[in-house]
Structure 1
Amino acid sequence: SEEMFKQIANFIKNELGPETPWHVTQFSGAISWKLQHLPDTLIETLKKAYNIGKEAGLKYVYTGNIPGLASEDTVCQRCGALVINRTGYFIVRQDKKGKCPKCKQDLNLIIK
């Protein structure tokens, strides 16, 4: 529910900090024959959670399991440049050692 998303987003912001990532992923019943009777999470639900997280002040909110949504990617918080492009489990990094390629902002990433 919208209220639940607000509570989660505010908890993350207030208790863990606004730079804590929040990954909102689609559930799919197809992952197990025991769960096939359960409906998949609607894309609109993920978009709603994403927007609520951003409105709450979270800097890094991502959607997952829906390839192609721009909300899978990481963008620079200062200039909006694409930093990490994600499509499913495939990642293309644009950053240079944790810095934005456009404005050189420190991206506060843990890189391994």
Structure 2
Amino acid sequence: MNRRRLVTALLVLGVVALFALPLLLDRGTAEFAGTDGLATTAIEEDHPGYEPWFESVLRPSSAEVESGLFALQAALGGGVLGYALGRLRGRRAPGTSTTEPGAGEP
């Protein structure tokens, strides 16, 4: 395995560990409260008769899963944004090479 693939594999394992370890170590003891929940509580206290306009289509089983899905959504959005910016930058400089020197030589 060359160095580039090893680094990629380690980075992917690191991201998976950052996502999985808190879920495994916590075991449901922490209280996760986001701003959405706090806003809902504040609205219900100020306006007791308020009824929401619509209900969620999918309700995650726990706050940890909801937080993980939000992080996954942010990561996918960042990946798409990074890809788009990289493509735009690649179009701007057509004369430059993106390969390493000597990579194509036998």
Please give the range of the TM-score, normalised by the shorter of the 2 chains.
Answer: under 0.3
Q: Which has the higher helix share?
A: 2
Q: Tell me the TM-score normalised to structure 1 length.
A: 0.20
Which has the higher Rg, Structure 1 or Structure 2? Answer: 2
Q: Tell me the TM-score normalised to structure 2 length.
A: 0.20
